[in-house]
Chain A
């Protein structure tokens, strides 16, 4: 059974810092790895999806990398802003194509 772990569980940083959020998964036989953002009282919003054949995906200030062999993914946020404050979840999709979610990293970026 796939297990997904995210470290750290919470993070508080000043505006402008570059951040790295970590995600690890136990079963490396995945089809893709997704990163989501969740704002308070809202559902999840897909940020990036990395297919198993890819090493990374980029969208604006966000860059996600995938290392299947080591069972790890990182989400890099450049020049963080207060508007980036949210919970970030990663999800690994295996043989059934259905994602298994981590518990998330709660991020606060203060001015």
Chain B
């Protein structure tokens, strides 16, 4: 099992550019989560999907953020336009169910917006 795979590992871009983060969950996991981690706010849940359907996006900070899951093996988190305050580490996690099932995290994408 390859685990949760995220790409890119690092992204540096200028303010105003579009940023797309990618995630491949573990095969067979029905739930996929996107988190953001910063020193100031810790680990925040942005959105999660069940069977490719977005269930709760109340953590998405602004309309500049959007997430999709076109199929069970792929999800994207897009920021357009990006701003310096979006700089953070973005994690994707998956799990087979939510009741008493630990989440499996990817290694994250470190995003820097200049």
Contact = CB atoms under 8 A, between A and B. Distances in A.
Contacts, number: 45
Nearest to A32: B100
Interface residues of B, number: 20
Interface stretch (B13-21, B65-73, B76-84, B103-111): B103-111
Interface string A31-42: 110100000011
Contact of A98 (B48, B100, B102): B48
Interface of B is mostly: strand
B34 interface: no
B107 A43 contact: yes
Interface string A80-97: 000000000100010011
Contacts of B32: none
A46 B98 CA distance: 14
Given A32-B100, A41-B107, A46-B103, A96 B56 contact: yes
A46 B100 contact: no
Contacts of A71: none
A103 interface: yes
Contacts of B98: 93, 96-98
Given A43-B93, A98-B48, A98-B56, A89 B43 contact: yes
A22 to B, nearest CB: 16
A44 B42 contact: no
A44 B56 contact: no
A96 B33 CA distance: 13
Interface string B26-70: 000000010000000011010010000000100000000000000
Nearest to B99: A97
A102 B4 CA distance: 22
B100 A31 contact: yes
Interface of A: 31-32, 34, 41-46, 49, 51, 89, 93, 96-99, 101-104
6 contacts: A43-B4, A43-B108, A49-B102, A97-B98, A99-B103, A101-B43
